[in-house]
Structure 1
Amino acid sequence: MTAAALVGGGSYPQPGEISLSHNGVLFLDELPEFERRVLEVMRQPMEDREVTISRARFTVTYPSSFMLVASMNPSPGGYFNDPDAPVTSSPAEMQRYLGKISGPLLDRIDIHIEVTPVPFEKLSEDRKGESSVEIRKRVTAARDIQTKRFAEIENVHYNAQMNTKQIREFCTLDVSSKALLKNAMERLNLSARAYDRILKVARTIADLEGVEQVGGNHIGEAIQYRSLDREGWLG
């Protein structure tokens, strides 16, 4: 995929995939397989929720408020940190593979989840998990909470849209929660942008629980979702 196909462009500018995904989901499979320069053009639209294309005679602005969902293998061979793997990758191959995704782009992704291999016992067990219907009810309740929270604020409808001032207002922390977040910021060498995103995610976790105050358990869980934007992916 080219940069123009992703953000839009051409002699007669047309919207790209990020604008076609406005108010929806943009799913990018095998993220490191995209050219780095193509991925980098998403950084500003993800921040501003719009993309501007300039030409000699005119400028066009398209909306691009989308939810980015991306997937990737943990290594070129797909068996990162597995001693029994049939295929292994050298440190140079790993660095080249992971280096295709920049730190500033990762900073703009709220949640990073590592999906570990599922053992046979888990695949074959009969125990049922929480149903999609129950999960939907909990998510809907959390969205209702956010709708009421931002009812008086223009152009803000849910936690992800909060600016820095609103984060400070709606994500107040007690002393122990601040100490936990401070320790994580220093230990993982996280950026200021990651700090704000941790608070947004923690606020959402609290909303899913129906709790008004963001606590240490919410901060701790949100920190666990920021594993890939630390300095040095290889540990």
Structure 2
Amino acid sequence: MLAALASAFAATAAAQVPASQRPQLDGAKAARHQAVDYLAQGPTAWQPAEVDATTWVADFVVAADGSGTHRTVQAAVDALPARADGAGAQRTWVIRVRPGTYRGPLCIKDKAPLRLAGEPGNAGAVTLVDGRYNSLPKTVGTPAQPCLPPSDAARHGTSGSATAVVASPDVLLAHLTIANDATQPGRPPIGDGAQAVALMTLADRIQLEDVRLVSHQDTFYVKRPAPQAPARVFVR
């Protein structure tokens, strides 16, 4: 269905632009829109790592059945050291998540560099999921999501609906699914305020490799942590 919609949209868009006006960017303009130029923006140029998660040695293993070091992804993240000032020499930690569905919001904030991986070659084997949405009521004065500060709002809002928030730089997510099932069949209708974010990033040098993002609206939300702060995200 999604592929059909995408195909139909592309065909409609192409039909509205005369062939004489395509491509719309000439060679000189297109040359200014390369991944390497985007990744070079910021304090230093960034070259995303090549990924072979089969070679990573795990510091922590998450398994819902208790066979790992932690039962939840959040517990493993909480066990990571805090990000140090001048963290260029701080080592990268590895969390491996065994197959299963892990329900609940996830917050990765102010932590050491991290690689979080599910099953190489099968992004559907590990699912991180929650079910909050924009207009879902919440208690005034509480945070809408563990990565966010307390808010006087009476509902979660778009940012607060996120299943996972990455608010720490140098995080690589690989071979897993992040979903928000707020609007899946069988769940209450939500009407207005249906935004239900799967992943929100609030940091620089975030890399997604073979990551499935599943939701209804505003599925992937990329934000800057501050107005002028870099917030580069690389998806492959």
- What TM-score, normalized to structure 2? 0.25
- What TM-score, normalized to structure 1? 0.25
* Larger fraction in strand: 2
The structure showing larger relative contact order (alpha-carbon pairs under 8 Å, at least 6 residues apart) is 1
